[in-house]
Amino acid sequence: MTMTMNMLNRLQHLQQGRGYWLLYIAGSLLLIAAALYFQYVREALPCLMCIQVRMLLSLLIILAIIGLSTRKYPLLNALVNITTVFVAVSMSERAYQLLGTERGFVFSDCGFDLGLPAWLALDEWLPWLFRVETTCGYTPEIVFGITIAESLMVLSILLLLFTSCMTLLSLLKLKK
């Protein structure tokens, strides 16, 4: 019991500190940088789902910045954490769809239109980051036969588990 409480205390300390939100920012920036490397250096053009993942990573960065500024306010912190869980769920769903399209167990219609409203024309404002350039089908191999879709599936599930645990801790703090 003491070991469990000790671990919970460490996680709660992490969740209340700057490192928690900085981890989201650094991780998201690293994944976006990797995507841009594959796009511009390895010439692996991004599909609709890849761009949607980039949009979710960008949203995660924005939420983490908000989380950094609200971490001292338990209610606001809990709301940002809950929103982060929704982003992690969305990323897991996109990763599943991408992996399923690559492996053939999901049949999806993957075109070139992001479907964004005119007031949020990210693909026009930042085409180097958010423009869809190919249809969905396969993702390039990263290393040892592991594709981007496979690694994204694992990373998004880990993000969902981690974020859910940290959100529960922030809700427990509210209860106190």
Domains parsed from the chain with CATH numbers: 2-175 (1.20.1550.10)
CB 63 within 8 A of CB 77: no
Confidence tier at 22 by pLDDT (50, 70, 90):
very high
Tell me the average pLDDT across 138-150. 84
For range 107-136, the mean pLDDT: 80
Q: pLDDT (tens digit, 9 = 90+) per residue, 1-11? A: 565 556 555 66
**What does the buried/exposed string (b/e) look like for 84-98 if buried means 16 or more CB atoms within 10 Å of the residue's CB?**
bbebbebbbebbbbb
pLDDT at residue 115, as a whole number:
76
On the question of pLDDT at 173 being above 80, the answer is: no
Question: Rounded to 5 degrees, what are φ and ψ at 26?
Answer: -65, -45
